[in-house]
């Protein structure tokens, strides 16, 4: 059993270090191997996804990932942007199904900016397609037109089979949950999304036990704020999924708590917190490691098939929350404020 550790940038290394503590505890026999990605890849090897890192990802049974990105990345050419490392990894390993659960921890309901009755008991999952869309479509770039004026261009693109495979993933996930899929598109404007809706509808007929509905992305963003509890599985493209999943995470008020899994054709997966690299708070021992730890729980479940151990880790997290432990992002008066390290130790203790 080989687990690749790619801690990345910003708070990545410190939160992943806590997840690795938990890993050592529940899976002492597992082999781990670290490799640089993102800024860390650029600084040590000149590229955001060094060859050795990709080779390790291919060899490993699963990848525990931190976060990538730093300040000022937006103006760099693509090959030098930290995020490109993550995008390449998703694409090279055909990790096309990104599960981003958004659920409410009862102890943290006060952290949400939404009224308790709107988010109490919230339990949805955003399934974001991860290998297609405008993230990868060609042509792309900044060109100069005949008049000498520059223009930027990117291409949204989906093939039928790309939509089919994410559709199957969505319906199958709904079967394991509450049996509802809401597909989000912009079929009233974009032909790519008309094809998306057509394929979703067709594949949906193979799952008559699952209820399928459709929303335009603008309506979905609104409904997520107005009545999020009506959702079970939301399936959408790479671009809309990026936006909706962060909005859904924010419903819970505690993005420092939310894990994600990126899965492909076999059991191999990449597991990462929903939060980013947060360079502004890096290295201060204040970041919340629970999203990384819960990502490791997903790894146990999805890639290693160790459901029992996954549940043990999740129970340990719930019990430290019940015990009042809080990092700064979820701190409220009357609870016990701890740092990143101390939170990791508390989870190991609870195990």
Ligand X SMILES: CC(C)[C@H](C(=O)O)[C@@H](O)C(=O)O
Is 71 annotated in some ligand binding site?
no
* Burial of residue 106 (number of CB atoms within 10 Å: 0-12, 13-18, 19+): exposed
Measured from the CB atom, is 243 or 351 closer to ligand X? 243
**For ligand X, which is the closer residue by CB, 207 or 240?**
240
Contact 58, 29 (CB under 8 A): no
Out of ligand X, its own copies, none, what residue 331 binds, judged by CB under 5 to 8 A for its kind, is: none
Residue position matching structure tokens 């006060």: 110
180 binds, among its own copies, ligand X, none (CB under 5 to 8 A by kind): none
Q: Report whether 175 belongs to an annotated binding site.
A: no
* Residue 45 annotated as part of some ligand binding site: no
**Contact yes or no for 293/254 (Cβ under 8 A):** no
- Is the backbone peptide bond immediately before 94 cis, with ω within 30 degrees of 0? no
When the beta carbons of 140 and 309 are compared against its own copies, the nearer one is: 140
Which positions touch its own copies (CB under 8 A)?
Answer: 69, 73-75, 78, 81, 83, 87, 113-115, 118, 134-135, 137, 140-142, 145, 149-161, 185-198, 214, 216-219, 221-222, 225-227, 239-240, 242-247, 249-251, 253, 255, 276
Is 276 annotated to bind a ligand? Reply is yes
Which residue intervals of 286-326 are DSSP H helices? 290-302, 307-322
Catalytic residue numbers, as ranges: 135, 186, 218, 242, 246
Q: What one-character DSSP code corresponds to residue 177?
A: T
Q: Which of 9, 232, 242, 302 binds ligand X (CB under 6 A)?
A: 242
80 scored as a contact of ligand X (CB under 6 A): no
The CA distance from 279 to 9, in Å, is: 8
In the list ligand X, its own copies, none, the entry touching 86 (Cβ below 5 to 8 angstroms by class) is: ligand X
- Comparing C-alpha atoms, which of 242, 236, 343 is closest to residue 294? 343
**In the complex, least distance from residue 218 CB atom to ligand X, rounded to whole angstroms:** 5
Sequence-distant (6+) residues with CB within 8 A of 124 are: 101, 102, 103, 228, 229, 231, 232, 233, 234, 248
The reply on whether position 253 binds ligand X by CB under 6 A is: no
Is 75 assigned a ligand-binding role in the annotation? no
* Binding site members: 90, 100, 128, 218, 242, 246, 276-288
């Amino acid at each position: 059993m080989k687990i690749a550790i790619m801690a990345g940038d910003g708070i990545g290394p410190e939160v992943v270090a806590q997840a690795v503590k938990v890993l050592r505890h529940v899976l002492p026999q597992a082999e781990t191997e670290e490799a640089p990605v993102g800024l860390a890849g650029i600084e040590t090897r000149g590229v955001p996804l060094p060859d050795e890192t990709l080779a390790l990802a291919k060899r490993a049974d699963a990848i525990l990932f931190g976060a990538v990105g730093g300040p000022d990345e937006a103006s760099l050419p693509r090959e030098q942007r930290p995020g490109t490392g993550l995008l390449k990894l998703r694409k090279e390993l055909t990790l096309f199904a990104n599960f981003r659960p958004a659920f409410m921890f009862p102890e943290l309901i006060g952290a949400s900016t939404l009224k308790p009755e709107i988010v109490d008991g919230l339990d949805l999952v955003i399934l974001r397609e991860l290998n297609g869309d405008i993230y990868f479509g060609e042509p792309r770039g900044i060109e100069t037109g005949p008049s000498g004026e520059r223009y930027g261009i990117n291409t949204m693109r989906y093939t039928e089979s790309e939509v089919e495979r994410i559709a199957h993933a969505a319906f199958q996930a709904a079967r394991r949950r509450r049996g509802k899929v809401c597909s989000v598109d912009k079929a009233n404007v974009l032909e790519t999304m008309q094809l998306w809706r057509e394929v979703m509808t067709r594949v949906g007929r193979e799952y008559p036990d699952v209820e399928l509905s459709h929303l335009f992305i603008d309506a979905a963003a609104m409904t997520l704020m107005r009545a999020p509890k009506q959702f079970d599985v939301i399936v959408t493209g790479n671009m809309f999924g990026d936006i909706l999943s962060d909005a859904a995470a924010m419903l819970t008020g505690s993005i420092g708590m939310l894990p994600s899994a990126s899965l492909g054709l076999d059991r191999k997966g990449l597991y990462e917190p929903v939060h980013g690299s947060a360079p502004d708070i890096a290295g201060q021992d204040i970041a919340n490691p629970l999203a990384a730890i819960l990502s490791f729980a997903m790894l146990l479940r999805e890639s290693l098939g160790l459901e029992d151990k996954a549940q043990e880790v999740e129970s340990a997290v719930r019990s430290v929350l019940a015990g009042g432990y809080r990092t700064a992002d979820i701190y409220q008066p009357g609870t016990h404020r701890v740092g990143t390290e101390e939170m990791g130790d508390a989870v190991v203790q609870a195990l």
